[in-house]
């Protein structure tokens, strides 16, 4: 069995490279996974690529199988789908999802992989980590039947939240983004769309995921009295002003943080594994293919990441393809 692998590393902020890796022999409770696809979560990973993780958050921002430390050298990523080549009989040959960085093959504990349902194509399963974030956000937000809801910020997380909200009965969902091109994505997901100035107000709930001050201010403006903004944005090392003057207090508005690193207290009994398995089940919906906006071979990552980080290449989720013999049979 081939024990060689290749991995993408951030050598220093703004500069990535592919390095050779020698894999260990899998232990009795481990699996050897051959990658089929991985996903670049544009918001978080480009922030890491730019070296924008604040020192106070170095521990909180660590990915499960990260190597190295911020700002670099560091091997970072958490959206990998592959096939188990060696491991327990129940997993061998299965397509699985793992919170692993961009690497052609890897050895992890068997408990660290989650089988991908047969109803979910491997290429779509790279979205599992982001849909899991959306699941956790909605556990925190607790939307009700018939609610009027806006999702401000049409990035990967915001669109995932909108896609799940589209399934709630009687709910009015509007995706709000400054990029008119997101209207096509909203249509594919089955929700409404508006530019910030045209968004519908009097919302019971606003989910904010634009990672901008302007987006957060607009999210508060869209609320009805006693409404709630659930804040999903990660701002890195930037200071953000929150408009708590004017009518914030008289209207009794709420801003609530939500973060996928902790299972929502509302569903704490469910656990991480159950939450991820739910996210994978939800990916049976082909509408979520609209969140994958580009694809490149693994070897292109050093040249691709600067383009994603600068915005030259706009993307929601950019999918990385591992052109390994036999991979096509599982795609």
Place domain 130-264 in its CATH homologous superfamily: NAD(P)-binding Rossmann-like Domain (3.40.50.720)
Closest CA to 163 of 283, 312, 7: 283
Which pLDDT tens digit goes with each residue over 84-127?
A: 999 999 999 999 999 999 999 999 999 999 999 999 999 999 99
The residues pairing with 74 across neighbouring beta strands, listed in sequence order, are 10, 68
Domain range summary for the chain, segments of one domain joined by +:
4-127+283-330, 130-264
Please name which of 234, 249, 152 lies closest in space to residue 196, comparing C-alpha atoms.
152
Distance between CA atoms of residues 32 and 126, nearest Å: 18
Contact indicator for 206, 189 with CB cutoff of 8 Å: no
Residues 232-254 as b or e (16 or more Cβ within 10 Å = b): bbbebeeeeeeeeeeeeeeeebe
pLDDT digits (tens, 9 = 90+) for 175-213: 999 999 999 999 999 999 999 999 999 999 999 999 899
| Residue 329 reports pLDDT greater than 70 | no
Question: CATH homologous superfamily of domain 4-127+283-330?
Answer: Medium-chain alcohol dehydrogenases, catalytic domain (3.90.180.10)
Backbone angles phi, psi at 255, to 5 degrees: -115, 120
pTM for this entry: 0.90
Integer CA distances (angstroms), 32 to 77, 152, 165, in order: 18, 40, 36
* Same fold for the pair 4-127+283-330 and 130-264: no
Confidence band, pLDDT 50/70/90 cuts, at residue 324: low
């Amino acid at each position: 069995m081939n024990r060689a692998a290749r991995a993408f590393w951030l050598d220093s902020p703004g500069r990535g490279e592919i390095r050779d890796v020698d894999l260990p022999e899998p232990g009795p409770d481990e699996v050897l996974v051959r990658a089929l696809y991985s996903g670049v979560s544009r918001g978080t990973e480009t922030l890491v690529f730019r070296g924008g993780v604040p020192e106070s958050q170095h521990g909180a921002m660590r990915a499960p199988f990260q190597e190295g430390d911020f700002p670099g050298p560091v091997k970072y990523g958490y959206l990998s789908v592959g096939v188990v080549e060696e491991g327990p009989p129940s997993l061998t040959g299965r397509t699985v999802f793992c919170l692993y960085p961009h690497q052609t093959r890897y050895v992890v504990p068997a408990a660290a992989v989650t089988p991908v349902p047969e109803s979910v194509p491997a290429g779509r399963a790279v979205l599992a980590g982001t849909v899991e974030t959306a699941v956790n956000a909605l556990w925190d937000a607790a939307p009700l039947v018939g609610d009027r809801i806006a999702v401000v910020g049409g990035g990967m997380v915001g669109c995932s939240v909108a896609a799940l909200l589209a399934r709630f009965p009687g709910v009015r969902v509007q995706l709000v983004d400054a990029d008119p091109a997101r209207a096509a994505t909203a249509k594919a997901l089955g929700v409404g769309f508006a530019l910030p100035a045209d968004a519908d107000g009097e919302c019971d709930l606003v989910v904010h995921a634009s990672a901008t001050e302007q987006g957060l201010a607009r999210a508060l403006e869209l609320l009805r009295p006693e409404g709630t903004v659930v804040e999903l944005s990660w701002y890195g090392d930037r200071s953000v002003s929150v408009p708590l003057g004017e009518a914030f207090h008289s209207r009794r508005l709420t801003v609530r943080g939500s973060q996928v690193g902790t299972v929502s207290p509302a569903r704490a009994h469910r656990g991480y594994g159950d939450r991820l398995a739910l996210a994978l089940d939800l990916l049976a919906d082909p509408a979520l293919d609209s969140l994958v906006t580009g694809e490149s071979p693994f070897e292109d990552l050093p040249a691709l990441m600067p383009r994603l980080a600068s915005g030259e290449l706009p993307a929601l989720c950019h999918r990385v393809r591992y052109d390994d013999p036999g991979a096509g049979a599982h795609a």
